[in-house]
């Protein structure tokens, strides 16, 4: 190849590479590390993530009933000196094993009645809802608390509760345990109602 053509070819390659590098988006377009959503989905998450503000958090752990691996806290958050307030619950799940995993989900107060109604609805689901061999019913809150009921064996139904998006924590339990979780949520709601 002729030296002049070689120089022109190298120049074209360098210029095309430089223009593609120049088109990379700046930091304002970068995603958060991990797979968290861009925007908070609950009022509690929005306050938890605020910058340049003093956030006051009050909480009460619900301990009247215990379910292995499940913790529920009634939570109130507010920004000091401002009207930004939110209340609701934080559901924390802890998986056991060699490498324990813990994750949490926020549920705003306004979403708690729908969650309680969904618990009742999925607890009533059984093999009569479909003609097929197995069944499943799911409900998911805005803050990624997911609960589901499914046929586990010929003689029983199981419940699975999970929190998080990427590093999900999951607990499998019985319908009796789900009733206990519902009682904990109802107690947390009653504590939050006292704040009015």
In a structure prediction context, what are the per-residue pLDDT tens digits for the chain, which is 196 residues long? 667 776 666 666 766 665 555 544 444 444 445 566 667 889 998 888 888 888 889 999 998 888 888 999 999 999 888 778 899 999 999 887 676 778 889 999 999 999 999 999 998 888 888 888 788 889 999 988 999 988 766 667 888 899 887 778 888 888 899 999 999 999 999 999 998 6
Q: Are 89 and 188 in contact (CB under 8 A)?
A: yes
**What is d(CA 163, CA 169) in angstroms, rounded to the nearest whole number?**
5
Q: Which of 114, 68, 109, 110 is nearest to 92 (CA)?
A: 68
DSSP H or E stretch at residue 176: helix 175-193
- Distance between the two ends of the chain, CA-based, in angstroms? 83
Task: Give the CA count within 13 Å in the CB-facing half-sphere of 113.
Answer: 2
Q: Which CATH class is domain 43-193?
A: alpha beta
DSSP H or E stretch at residue 27: none
Q: Which of 39, 195, 179 is nearest to 109 (CA)?
A: 195
Spatial neighbors of 96 by CB under 8 A, at least 6 apart, are 69
Query: What burial letters (b/e) apply to 81-91, b meaning 16+ CB within 10 Å?
Result: eeeeebbbbbb
pLDDT score, position 24: 46
pLDDT score, position 80: 87
- Helix ranges restricted to H, the chain: 3-22, 43-48, 109-124, 175-193
Show the CA angle centred on residue 153, arms to residues 147 and 155, nearest 5°. 105
Q: Are 181 and 172 in contact (CB under 8 A)?
A: no
**What is d(CA 134, CA 132) in angstroms, rounded to the nearest whole number?**
6
pLDDT score, position 83: 77
Calculate the CA dihedral of residues 56, 61, 62, 65 and round it to 10 degrees: 170
Q: Are 62 and 180 in contact (CB under 8 A)?
A: no
Q: Are 163 and 95 in contact (CB under 8 A)?
A: no
């Amino acid at each position: 190849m002729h030296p002049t053509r070689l120089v022109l070819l190298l120049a074209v390659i360098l210029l095309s590479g430089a223009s593609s590098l120049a088109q990379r988006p700046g930091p304002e377009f970068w995603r958060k590390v991990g797979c968290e959503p861009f925007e908070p989905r609950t009022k509690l998450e929005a306050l938890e993530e605020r910058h340049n503000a003093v956030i006051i958090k009050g909480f009460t752990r619900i301990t009247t009933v215990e379910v292995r691996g499940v913790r529920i806290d009634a939570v109130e958050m507010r920004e000091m000196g401002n009207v930004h307030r939110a209340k609701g619950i934080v559901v924390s799940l802890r998986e056991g094993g060699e490498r324990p995993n813990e994750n949490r989900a926020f549920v705003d107060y306004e979403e708690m009645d729908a969650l309680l109604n969904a618990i009742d609805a999925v607890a009533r689901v059984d093999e009569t809802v479909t003609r097929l061999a197995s069944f499943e019913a799911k409900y998911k809150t805005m803050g990624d608390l997911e609960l589901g009921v499914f046929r586990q064996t010929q003689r029983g139904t199981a419940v699975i509760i999970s929190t998080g998006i990427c590093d999900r924590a999951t607990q499998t339990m019985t319908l009796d345990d789900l009733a206990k979780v519902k009682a904990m949520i109802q107690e947390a709601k009653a504590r939050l109602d006292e704040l009015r």
